[in-house]
Structure 1
Amino acid sequence: MDWLQTAFGWLGDATWGWALIPFLIVLGGAFTLISGFVQFRFFGRMWNVLSGGHGQGEGEVSSREALLVSIGGRVGGGNIAGVAVAITLGGPGAVFWMWVVALIGMATSLFECALAQLYKRSEPDGTFRGGPAQYIQHGLGQSFNWLAVIYAIALLASFGLGFSAFQGNTVAVAANDSLGLDPVMVGVFLALVTAVIVFGGIRRIARVADVIIPIMALGYIAMALAVIVLNFTEVPAALWTIVANAVGLEEAVGGGVGAAVAQGMRRGLFSNEAGLGSAPNVAAAAAVPHPMTQGIVQSLSVFIDTVIICTCTAMVILLGDVYVPGATDVDGVALTQQSLVGHLGDWSQYFLTGAVLLFAFSSIIYNYYLGETAVSVLTGNRFGVLALRLAVPVVVFLGAAAPGATAVFFFSDPLMGLLALVNLIALAMLFPVGMRLLADYRRQLRAGAVEPVLDPADYADLDIDQTAWTKPAPLRQVA
């Protein structure tokens, strides 16, 4: 076992340590420049989905539901504990670099999700399935099947199993610390609810996300806004501290700007997952008229996760008096929790516990669906999916009831780094196809279309599933 841990430790160092983060930043920056800052040009269109975005037919997953499932997966411990760790180790300036990573990552997310949509496949039950494994297989060709298999194995092991156990543990610890609940009972409850949802497939997952994610996110944002309003006169100083620490005008921790950049970028990427190849699996399930439509929508989830929700956590911490620059005796979720209590009173710690519970549970169902997509690539039959549906509730229970069991999944972070690296290589190779989609989308908008529609005949040279795309309706002219 020691040699195995050493091997995965090397893999983690080789990806997260030196290769992955620069690759993500350079690639995201290139996508931003070559596309003409697409994430900013279409920023207004991203928000339209929140007021509608329903599927095109009965039983289909809507654009908004796919967005909310991915937000549910992205928003979690990284937004509460991760931000606190970034500030503790990198100073307030780390928040600024989290913003930078998010704004660049919006372009990466846009293209990876648009490609997942283009190469998605129709399922017998009328839903769609796709993601990096599918756009590697059908976009790069059969000679790259081995790369798709590596991706699927890493996705299943890290998200489908490992992170599900960790999230079960997060729920149990939070419930025990704040409410005194027995971890075993929490594990039983969590496993049962997880089983009910995952056996309903992506439709039930999407419906659940459509209900709990807005409650979860809006409730947390409202709490942070209350803190901001109560400390309104101190907000400009907090923002100045973030910027000043980020560029070296002030120094809060040892390492100065270097620590801020390193922590901000690392925690930002962990939080919003842009470029890691996870969200495209969910984005592909949506029924939309054009692949770029969902790409633009999914770009919004990166903004919501990091620029909005992570900033809320940062303001709660920096506007309080619990955080002491350079001190590391209070960090993680404890720093966020104690800061919130200092602002609003003891009752707020129970609210935060509830938020952690919802965040973690939404991540569990998101992680399950990623695992299901991986299994469909590896086995291609319903028995593999059934086995996963039986396994995930058990894994969640073990993570909650036996905290030591999570040590078995030490390979999760290194494998996430591997799948991200595979995804980025595929993205770089398929970027011309992404630009082709973007050009088509822009052409239809210039022609007066309210919502561009993909004509599969225009992509007959590509290995796309023609049945996943209806014939295009006439362009609707802007009144």
Structure 2
Amino acid sequence: MINDLVQAINGVLWGESIVIFGVGIPLLIPMLVFAGIWFTVKLGFVQIRHFGYMFSVMKGSTSTDSKGHGISSFQALCTSLSARVGTGNLAGVAVAISLGGAGSIFWMWVIAILGMATGFAESVLGQLYKVKDENGEYRGGPAYYIKQGINKTWLAVAFSLCLFLGYGFIFSAVQANTITDALSHAYDIPTTYSGLAIITLAGLIVVGGMHRIAQFAEWIVPFMAVGYILVTLGVTIANIEQIPALIWHIISSAFGLEEATGGAVGAAIKNGIQRGLYSNEAGSGSVPHAAAAASPNPNHPVSQGYVQMLGVFFDTVVLCTCTAVIILLAGGSQSEQMEGIRLTQDAMSHHLGGNGIDFIAAAISLFAFTSVVANYAYGESNLHIFKLDNKVGRIAYTIGYLAMIFWGSRAALPQVWAAADMALGMMTVINIIAIIWMTPTIVSISHHYFEQRKKGQIPSYKPGECDIQGESEKGIWD
């Protein structure tokens, strides 16, 4: 019955509502593409015009405010990357290629570039409408800007429930599923044992709250990302003569130039965008939780828009491309069934021999485990909405979170991915509606930042300086 319910909801969210090139495209995909184009135009192509500045914002990003509230911008970026960088970068890319072919990678790039503008918009709102919890830490996210900005409490509650279902429970089950499958494939470790190990390690970290999670992310994310990029560069250099043909293969497959029928193009678009969304999370409403937790530098909500826009670029254009290169250089291609992490493991074994499986098993364990930890922080951020931001509420949430991890570590892959798609889709619909509704606020506060930069000033924000919908919490920006 549960599987039937999940499939029914996914039929609405990810069903074949629109036909393109002979293949049904989910209605959710045009929504995301529209949002990306909408904010790209409304913000003056900010992800292109300010591409270089996006990196420069990270200068001084390791500092917090003088009172020690919140986490640093760098910690916020690492926390959001902890959640983003996971199964989508390794298993998700493999799923996209196996179902949509090499052309799906091109459409991953497209949704990432458009998604940078969407990620900018939602992160600005997350930072602007943040609140302080009972421990003096910053909390925020779509539920907060929906409630404070457009005064739709019922919609805020609906989003929070979807967030709990997705990031609080199901997404961590997806990550655990991939870890245990990778370890089982590489070392024949029973999933029960690896599942117990995951919940033990995760429990030790998450009990420390957002600050401990951010500190963990700040240490582990740069280490694992740089290591993965260096290995990919080594594989690329060893096969440098194949790179021009590989790039042409991706682009030509994306537009059906190599295919006998147009159906392959639709499959590439569908799977590339769907897996790209799952990986970079732009528009889903997850990243604003990390953005809201930060003490921004410069002290303006828009600075977090740039930080999290960088996260979208790094996750999909950089790391997902690394996995695609590894798989395609090993001869990976479209197949008749969905393939996950084992396709990536086999591809790395092609390049590195027996060490390939070991490397990917270690990489997916780190990538996915950081996501498991960061997902907890996103769910915990919404306890405040339900007045459960207390000891009893946190204990109940933590027990449910750890139980779902253990379930996911032993569940079948299609069931877990289907549940993840359902939660992500429901969150995304609500968030996209909300941020488009709040476009006047996003444009107003962004132009406030842009104008200060033009005048050579260090941007800063105080209440009343911009026309915003509703009002932010008193005392936050004074």
Q: TM-score, with normalisation over the residues of structure 1?
A: 0.91
User: Hey, what does 1:240 align to over in structure 2?
Assistant: 248
Aligned to 1:91: 101
User: Is the aligned partner of 1:114 residue 2:104?
Assistant: no
Q: Per the alignment, do residues 199 and 50 of structure 1 end up closer, same or farther by CA in structure 2, a change over 3 Å counting? A: same
**Stretch of structure 1 that moved more, 97-106 or 178-187:** 178-187
Which residue does the alignment assign to 2:402? 393
Among 437, 441, 450, the residue aligned to 1:442:
450
Q: 1:11: how far off? A: 1.8
- Does structure 1 residue 60 correspond to structure 2 residue 67? no
- Give the aligned partner of residue 221 of structure 2: 213
Answer yes or no: is the 8 Å Cα contact 2:75–2:215 preserved in 1.
Answer: yes
RMSD of aligned alpha carbons: 2.2
Report the Cα distance in structure 1 between the residues aligned to 2:9 and 2:140, rounded to whole angstroms.
27
Deviations 1:101-136 (A, max 9, x none): 100010000000000100000223232000000000
Matched letter for residue 271 of structure 1: S
What corresponds to 1:474 in structure 2? none
Q: Partners in 1 of 2:349 and 2:338 — Cα distance? A: 14
C-alpha contact 1:72 1:366 (8 A) present in aligned 2: yes
Match of 2:393 in 1: 384
Number of the residue aligned with 2:21 = none
Residue 226 (1) aligns with residue 234 (2)? yes
Distance 1:146 1:121, change over 3 A: same
Amino acid at match of 1:40: I
> Is the contact between residue 102 and residue 334 of structure 2 (CA under 8 Å) also seen in structure 1?
no
The counterpart of 1:193, out of the listed 196, 201, 210, is 201
Is residue 306 from structure 1 mapped to residue 306 from structure 2 by the alignment?
Answer: no
Q: Distance in 2 between matches of 1:385 and 1:19?
A: 36
Equivalent position SS for 1:248: coil
Tell me the amino acid that sits aligned with residue 282 of structure 1. Answer: A
- Is residue 283 from structure 1 mapped to residue 291 from structure 2 by the alignment? yes
Give the direction of change, closer, same or farther, for the CA distance of 1:337–1:275 in structure 2 (3 Å limit).
same
The match for 2:461 among 447, 454, 463 is 454
Aligned twin of 1:136:
146
Shift of residue 182, structure 1, vs aligned partner: 3.7
Q: Counterpart amino acid of 1:72? A: S
Aligned residue in 2 for 1:13: 11
1:433 corresponds to 2:441? yes
CA distance in 2, matches of 1:307, 1:252: 28
Deviation at residue 149 of structure 1 after TM alignment: 0.8
1:341 aligns with 2:339: no
Greater Cα offset, 249-258 or 402-411 = 402-411
- Distance (whole Å) between structure 1 residues aligned to residue 28 and residue 398 of structure 2: 31
Name whichever of 285-294 and 241-250 sits farther off.
241-250
Stretch moving more, 98-107 or 80-89: 80-89
Q: How many residues align?
A: 462
| Paired letter, 1:177 | H
Displacement of 1:405 in angstroms is 11
Deviations 1:363-404 (A, max 9, x none): 11111112112222123431322321233233323433x436
Segments of structure 1 that go 5 or more residues without pairing to the other structure are 471-479
Change (3 A) 1:263 1:407: closer
Q: CA deviation at 1:155?
A: 0.6
**Residue type of the alignment partner of 1:317:** I
**Separation in 1, partners of 2:433, 2:242:** 44
Counting helix residues as a fraction of each chain, which structure ranks higher?
Answer: 1
Residue equivalent to 1:363 = 371
343 and 406 in structure 1: CA distance in 2 versus 1, 3 angstrom threshold: closer
Q: CA deviation at 1:48?
A: 2.9
Residue equivalent to 1:33: 41
Task: For residue 337 of structure 1, report the CA deviation from its aligned partner.
Answer: 1.5
Query: Hey, what's the Cα distance between the residues in 1 that align with 2:61 and 2:416?
Result: 40
Q: 1:412 to 1:268 in 2, by over 3 A?
A: closer
Structure 2 stretches lacking a partner, 5+ long:
16-25
Secondary structure, aligned partner of 1:468: coil
Q: Distance in 2 between matches of 1:34 and 1:184?
A: 50
What is residue 475 of structure 1 aligned with on the other side?
none
Aligned equivalents of 1:213 and 1:468: distance in 2? 29
User: Structure 2 counterpart of 1:125, which letter?
Assistant: N
Map of 1:394-413 to 2, 5 A cutoff?
394-400=403-409, 402-403=410-411, 411-413=419-421
Q: CA deviation at 1:460?
A: 8.2
Letter in 2 for 1:196: L
Q: 1:411 to 1:374 in 2, by over 3 A?
A: farther
Aligned amino acid, residue 6 of structure 1: D
1:149-174 deviation per Cα after TM superposition (whole angstroms, max 9, x unaligned): 11111110121012222322322222
3-state SS of paired residue (1:423): helix
- Counterparts of 2:279 and 2:75 in 1: how far apart (Å)? 20
- Taking the aligned partners of 2:398 and 2:442, their CA distance within structure 1 comes to 33
Q: Which amino acid aligns with 1:221?
A: I
What are the within-5 Å matches in structure 2 for residues 319-330 of structure 1?
Answer: 319-321=329-331, 323=332, 325-328=333-336
Gap change, CA 1:416 and 1:31, over 3 Å in 2 = same
| Sequence identity (%) | 40
Shift of 1:252: 8.2
TM-score normalized by the length of structure 2: 0.91
The one-letter code of the counterpart of 1:457 is: G
Letter in 1 for 2:398: R
Secondary structure at the counterpart of residue 422 of structure 1: helix
